[in-house]
Amino acid sequence: MLMIKLSEESRVEFEKEANIIAQSLAQCVDRFKLEQAISFFQHFMHQALVTSSFEEEEYLSFANSVTEELKNKVYDKEAVTLLVNLSRIDSDVLSIYGKNGLNLVVAQAITELPDYFTTPFNSVMIFDYLYSHYYWQAQEVFRGQGLEAFLNFLTASLKEQAIKGEEIVTSILSSFMSIHFKDDKGALERIITSFGHIKSIEKKALKFLSQS
């Protein structure tokens, strides 16, 4: 079993995030079968703060059991919020979402939790998760419907992801320009028209244009 050690700084972050999870559990416990889950988590949180460590496998097993209970309750906003919050103290929970077909639900719910990005605890992993979600959707749209639909999808994604949207779209467009569009003058000009307000995109597209 992997033992996660908490430094003084990360212990503060852990306590902050764990309290959010505990609050989410408390909001759901009366409507869903989570009595054992909340009892476990209270003990888990106490032990982690006392010892400044926790066993990752033990936490992931807990997160998996809660996900199993709630995966068919995604119509409920508080249930979905709890699912998202479970990944606050261990980003490996993201793989549990994928296993249960909850990637889209979680990616959309994260947009409603801006405080998720105010802590370094998991923000990098969550960005990678969101980027992957939008990248593969963009790939599917491009292959099936072409450039215009691809650009429209990215415009919609930019609006949907108010917090990290520009960063996500910039990363996706940068990748696509390098792979698909670096020799396509028409596509590069169209990208500048749609996303030239993002300076790094404009700069990269102009660079490829100058080489074509």
Give, rounded to a whole angstrom, the gap between the first and last alpha carbons of the chain: 54
Look at residue 136 and tell me whether its pLDDT is greater than 80.
Answer: yes
% of the chain with per-residue pLDDT over 70: 92
Cα–Cα distance measured from residue 31 to residue 22, given in angstroms and rounded to the nearest whole number: 15
Tell me if 191 sits within 8 A of 205, measured CB to CB.
yes
What does the pLDDT read at residue 165?
81
Look at residue 37 and tell me whether its pLDDT is greater than 80.
Answer: yes
pTM above 0.85, yes or no: no
Confidence class of residue 119 from pLDDT cuts 50, 70 and 90?
low
Q: How many CB atoms lie within 10 A of CB 148?
A: 11
Region of 146 (left: φ > 0; alpha: ψ -120 to 50; beta: rest) is left
What does the pLDDT read at residue 3?
85
Cα–Cα distance measured from residue 185 to residue 191, given in angstroms and rounded to the nearest whole number: 10
Confidence class of residue 133 from pLDDT cuts 50, 70 and 90?
confident
pLDDT digits (tens, 9 = 90+) for 144-166: 999 999 999 999 887 777 667 88
C-alpha count within 13 angstroms, C-beta hemisphere, residue 166: 8
Region of 52 (left: φ > 0; alpha: ψ -120 to 50; beta: rest) is left
Task: Give every CB contact of residue 132 below 8 A, 6+ residues apart in sequence.
Answer: none
Look at residue 56 and tell me whether its pLDDT is greater than 70.
Answer: yes
* Of the ranges 5-19, 112-126, 137-151, 152-166, the best mean pLDDT one: 137-151
**Chain mean pLDDT for the chain:** 86
For the chain, the domains span 3-121, 125-211
Look at residue 110 and tell me whether its pLDDT is greater than 60.
Answer: yes
